[in-house]
Amino acid sequence: MDLLWAEVDRLQPLLGCVTRLHPLIYRRGRAPWDDTWAEGIEPLSANEAREFLHHSARIRSLNIPSTDRLFPLLSVIPVDACVFPRLQSLTLFSGTHLSLFLSHTLRHCAVFSVNTDLPQSIAVPESTADQLSILSDRVRLFKQLVTLSCPPLDWAAWKHLSNLPTLVEVGICEVRGHGAPPWPLDRHIVNFSPFLNLTALSFTVDSAAYMTTILQHSQFPSLKRFWIMIEVVSSTEAERLFRALSHYKQTLEQLTVILSEYHDLQNNYLTAITHLLCFTQLRFLQFDCLDSSIYLDNNLLLEAMSAWPHIHTLKIEDCGIRPSITFRGLFTALRQCPQLESLRVLIDTVNIDIDPNAEPIQHTSLRTLDLETFESPIGNAEVLARIIFKWLPCVDQVNKVADDWEPWDEVNMHLVSLRAAVRRVVGGALNT
């Protein structure tokens, strides 16, 4: 029985132990994820709650998607009860009735949202702020956390996390539509203890303030992966964020930056690439600016490639301005990164500034090439194919970043013909 109940997906198996609900849940032809049976059903009684919890102590891993129809059935269970005393892994997509699932024994915890859209008969806090406070209070009781994904925590919870030697990964996702966290950002915050073994940190937030504050008061000596997605950011906020992040320039290997909306009163493009040149250990970089422009030309690309000698994946997307990188600039920069395997940039395909008949300096590591043309026409598809074929021998085709790959279709057709011709020559020589 311990093995049978060790991993549970959804609440239905536990509710299926309730005699009254069993025939509703397991009716012939009903899909396991179909919870429409719960509409209009009376909540559990005290005796039925004991049936529901009959196997709860056996459960080690619990995955609960957003199934608000089922939570009202649990109103008889006190909200401060911890009913899964041996739970080690929790994935909770709807943060209602948080306290029932936040066991002190958790090692892996993912709470994707807090939600209070429940009937008034259920005794849960009335505000998102209360739910976030409950989450923060419970997190402070966890002693063996390894991974944590949840909405923003208060400073006391962060202080507690900084003292957990087991913690290796933290992800924060802000609750959309609820504004800033309910605790002030301008209060005096004592610096946290070093997060000694934390290697991965991610934030999905509306603004950079909360995240920057965390970075300014923390130490992450082992940080290797950092992922951020910000809804709205100004040039001043972006500069402050990257300055705080630069403290980890000697350890950071993977960096993903996604800016949905960028505001700068002086410029209409983002120059944040210059702030990333100090990260000399980067192996993976993805930089997206969805509603603004990222400035990148031949000189800056060369400077960046020279600063990142270990990089194997570089993706700079949605530049949104006339391309300033040429093929000559691209191949000059590639010489600085012999390990580069995947590249995505905006490039000028009209003004071909390299001789297709010149002796190439081949880059033999690059295999994935995604080129954005910003609706520019392909100048000479055959010449471009010959250049790519000779200089990038491991690239089978060129992909356009957008869904419509039509601008590169003709180039890729020429690449296929060139490779077929080589195979024929090689095959003929072997036969001879």
Encode pLDDT of 305-320 as tens digits: 999 999 999 998 755 5
Helix (H) or strand (E) holding 135: helix 128-139
Q: In the chain, which stretches have pLDDT less than 50?
A: 116-127, 265
**pTM for this model (two decimals):** 0.84
336 assigned to some structural domain = yes
* CA atoms of 294 and 112, how far apart (whole Å): 31
Average pLDDT in the chain: 84
- What are the pLDDT digits (tens) for 275-307? 889 999 999 999 887 766 677 889 999 999 999
- Angle, vertex CA 315, rays to CA 148 and CA 274, nearest 5: 90
- Reference 63, options 4, 112, 3; nearest CA is 112
Is residue 71 domain-resident?
no
- Return the pLDDT at 260: 77
Residue 135: inside a domain: no
Closest by CA position to 342, among listed 374, 369, 380: 369
The answer to whether position 423 is within a domain reads: yes
At 364 the three-state DSSP class reads: coil
Domain span at residue 426 reads 296-432
316 strand-pairing partners: 287
Residue 204 lies in a domain: no
Specify if 323 maps to a domain.
Answer: yes
- Is 412 domain-assigned? yes
Residue 207 pLDDT: 84
Q: What pLDDT was estimated at residue 31?
A: 83
Q: Classify residue 310 by burial, with Cβ atoms within 10 Å: 0-12, 13-18, 19+.
A: middle
Asked if residue 134 belongs to a domain, the reply is no
Instruction: Fill in the amino acid letter for 93.
Output: F
- Write down the pLDDT at residue 123: 33
Q: What is the predicted pLDDT for the residue at 256? A: 95
- Domains contained in the chain, number: 1
Q: Residues with Cβ < 8 Å from 198, sequence gap 6 or more? A: 167, 168, 169, 170, 220, 222, 223
Token pair 């948080």 is found at: 98
